[in-house]
A and B are shown apart, each in its own frame.
Chain A
Amino acid sequence: MKPSDTLGLALQNVRRTRLRTFLSALGVAIGTAAVVALVAAGNGFQNIAVDRAARFGSLTEIIVFPEQDNGTPHPITPTTVASLRSIAHVASVDLSLQTPPIRVQLDGTSADLPSGARTPVDAGGGVLSRATPMPADGVLLPVSFVKKAGETATSVVGEPVSLIAGSSVCCATDRNTLTVLGPDHTFQAHVAGVYDDTATATPADRGSNPSIVFVTAELGATIDGAFGGLTGGEYIDHQGYSSALVTADDARQTSAIAETIRSQRFRVQDRADLLAQVHLVFTIITAGLAAVGSIALLVAAIGIANTMIMTVLERTREIGIMKALGAEPGAIRSLFLVESALVGILGGLAGVLFAFGSVLLGNAAFSRFVQNQNPGNTVPDLFIVTPVLIAFGLGLALAISLVGGALPSRRAVRLQPLDALRYE
């Protein structure tokens, strides 16, 4: 029997029992809509969670360190930085360099402070003032030192400042700083800004280590290079930066960017694991929601099985006639399975359409609610329906209808032709 004839006969039978088909398909539609809507909600929750988590920043950040490449140093040079900036979805690349403790001299006041070099020098929180434009020899001072020198956060910006690095500079205050052996070197710089290192500032605004003097990476390279008789440029080309902070424009791209950088033989630290955990948790939640929705589909499958068993009973004599006329078992099985599948496809299509409409309404209502509660605040969609989800919903409806039709079609196949012909 040709598939087109099986389909034609099945369509004829389905049309003949319109009400019964409608009711069975309605069950499938409700189940499919429940699965699609709940999974769409799971997708939405996941998206919102990732979006919110990404706003903490760290999820978009990747720290890149130089790596030993078979014993040969593989430094982060300006060429490397250009390469990092060219990677898709990289929003910025901030550079940092380890520098020795520095004696800062401003208006006759001096203090020995641990130091760090970074570009941009005013990266991080708690910046109270900054120079425009930022000088290449810029220094970001802690406000506690500025006050001690009798200046204010704004008055000191642009002022010349002397920096001394060398063995006479006290380095006992911070065990993490480099110990420099050698004669003192003095560097002239300008105040690029002031940041809040006081106890009243919040930890986030104060920075990770209070009372550090920050210099630009260029100035840091000059300071580090001076101890080896190198210019700043020569030092960077040879030694490279201590690390680079790569920021992605989308938290979902962090892992891919990290992988790209890793493939360039650099050591990478990112929060991809955390993001993966967020994804995992919400994947489990989504699967749970899908399972809840599937209960409705399971009920629909039982409905289809019941309907099809009734159909087989009603058409027992017809099955007998078809068998007497030479219909093979496969043809009988296909006929009833195709009838079940038609119910599943009809119900699945209706369910997906219904879910899609509900999702549109739900997203609009959620957006309006958020706007009312927090004017000007935008949030991602609460429900997300993807083409894969639509295909999944339709596939599930079809599968469940075939499961529902399996037992009745088996009964039809196993009917003895003679018993079926004699059935009243």
Chain B
Amino acid sequence: MATSLESVTRVYGQGSSSVKALADVSLRVGDAEFVAVMGPSGSGKSTLLNVIGALDRPNRGRVVVDGQDIARLDARAAARYRRRSVGFIFQSFNLLPRLTVLENVALPLMFEGVGQRERIRRAAAVLTEIGMADRLGHRPPTLSGGEKQRAAIARALIANPDLLLADEPTGNLDSNTATTVMRLIADLNRSRGQTVLLITHDLQVASYARRVVRMRDGRVIDGESEKEGVHEAV
């Protein structure tokens, strides 16, 4: 899914205490591309991701996803866009602790109005695909960090979205688990052709992407062209 930001500005707060998280950012992400966004804390990486995912609205500029300016969507249309077109993978997993893994993964389909039997079937299939078949009935607090993130990835994939947005997906994982998770994301990018936009501080993690975008002080400073290959995905 082709995504482009055109002169996007996002300012938090007002007056002297205002913070410009994104300053006139323009960026284009091609269909099925795997892009890593790197930069120091406060550089605007997460804001960029949130704006593309319609979790946040820019003050100025256009965010065009598949020909549609999602910055202009009302709350209902934005929810529909997130549900059908975007899969979020958060650093802190954001699983609902009182639901089982299966129920967590099936949640986006519930909001879509899919019947219980069908959504459970599809959730079980995705969880099996990423090697979580033996954890369907577990609740998140009983899972390891890697398992939680894999469950979160399964949830992001359940609606088969065109765009995967991952905000430091390995931030809470040890290096071995992080490698497993990154291989999974890279495999999904290749096998499913989903566009992946990933935020990371970690060069090792960024090496799985085909392009690295660097940000500083709310601006893109590097990465408009494809990288020469820090790390080849396995």
Beta-carbon contact of A16 and B82 below 8 Å = no
Q: Contact check, B76 vs A326: say whether CB atoms are below 8 A apart.
A: no
The stretch that binds A, out of B59-67, B109-117, B193-201, is B109-117
The docked-state distance in angstroms from the alpha carbon of A56 to that of B76 is 68
Tell me whether chain A's interface is mostly helix, strand or loop, or mixed: helix
Q: Is the CB of A1 within 8 A of B94?
A: no
Which of A12, A321, A324, A325 lies at the interface centre, i.e. has the most chain B CB atoms within 10 A of its CB? A325
Is A296 on the interface with B (CB-CB < 8 A)?
no
With beta carbons under 8 angstroms apart, the residue of B80, B116, B155 that contacts A328 is B80
- The CA of A416 and the CA of B57, in the complex, are separated in Å by 10
Q: Is B132 an interface residue (CB 8 A)?
A: no
Does A66 reach chain B (CB closer than 8 Å)?
no
Contact A5 B83, beta carbon cutoff 8 Å: no
Q: Least Cβ distance of A416 to chain B in Å? A: 8
Interface string of A12-27 (1 = CB under 8 A from B): 1000100000000000
CA distance A23 to B33 in the complex (A): 54
A326 touches B55 (CB 8 A): no
Query: Given contacts A322-B107, A324-B94, are A421 and B55 in contact (CB under 8 A)?
Result: yes
In B97-121, the 8 Å CB interface with A consists of 98, 107-108, 110-113, 115-116
Could you tell me the dominant secondary structure of chain B's interface residues?
helix
| B84: Cβ under 8 A from any A Cβ | yes
Given known A-B contacts A329-B76, A329-B79, A418-B55, A16 and B98 have beta carbons under 8 A apart = yes
Residues of A close to B98: CB separation below 8 A? 12, 16
Check A330–B76 contact: CB distance below 8 A: yes
Number of CB contacts from chain A to chain B under 8 A: 61
* Known pairs A1-B113, A417-B55, A418-B50; A326 contacts B96 (CB<8 A): no
- Contacts A16-B98, A321-B94, A421-B94 known; A327 to B79 CB distance under 8 Å? yes
Assembly CA distance A417 to B79 (angstroms): 10
Q: Residues of A contacting B234 with CB < 8 Å?
A: none
Q: How far is the CA of A248 from the CA of B56 in the complex (A)?
A: 76
Shortest Cβ distance from residue A373 to the other chain B in the assembled complex, whole angstroms: 60
Whether B113 lies near A326 (C-beta < 8 A) is no
Contact of A324 among B55, B84, B112, B159 (CB under 8 A): B55
Contacts of B113 in A (CB 8 A): 1-2
Residues of chain B contacted by A328 (CB below 8 angstroms): 75-76, 79-80, 111
**Smallest CB separation, B83 vs chain A (Å):** 2
Q: How far is the CB of B98 from chain A (nearest CB, A)?
A: 7
Q: Are B112 and A326 in contact (CB under 8 A)?
A: yes
A329 to B110, CA, bound (A): 14
Q: Which A residue's beta carbon lies closest to that of B50?
A: A418
B contact residues around A317 at 8 Å (CB): 94
In contact, A327 and B111 (Cβ under 8 angstroms):
yes
Instruction: Name the distance in Å between B132's Cβ and chain A's nearest Cβ.
Output: 18
B79 contacts which of A12, A323, A418 (Cβ < 8 Å)? A323
Closest B residue, CB atoms, query A8:
B116
Determine the distance from Cα of A328 to Cα of B88 in the docked complex, in whole angstroms.
16
Alpha-carbon gap, A317 to B112, bound state (A): 20
In Å, the complex CA distance between A1 and B108 comes to 10
User: Would you give the shortest CB distance from A378 to chain B, in whole angstroms?
Assistant: 58
- How many angstroms from the CA of A330 to the CA of B80 in the assembled complex? 12
Nearest CB in chain B: distance from A354 CB, A:
32
By Cβ-Cβ distance, the 7 closest A-B pairs, closest first, are A326-B83, A328-B79, A326-B82, A327-B111, A325-B108, A418-B55, A326-B111
Using A5-B110, A326-B80, A328-B76 as known contacts, list a sample of 17 further A-B pairs with CB atoms less than 8 Å apart, ordered by residue number in A. Answer: A1-B110, A1-B111, A1-B113, A2-B115, A12-B98, A16-B98, A321-B94, A322-B111, A324-B55, A324-B88, A324-B94, A325-B88, A325-B107, A326-B79, A327-B83, A327-B111, A418-B55
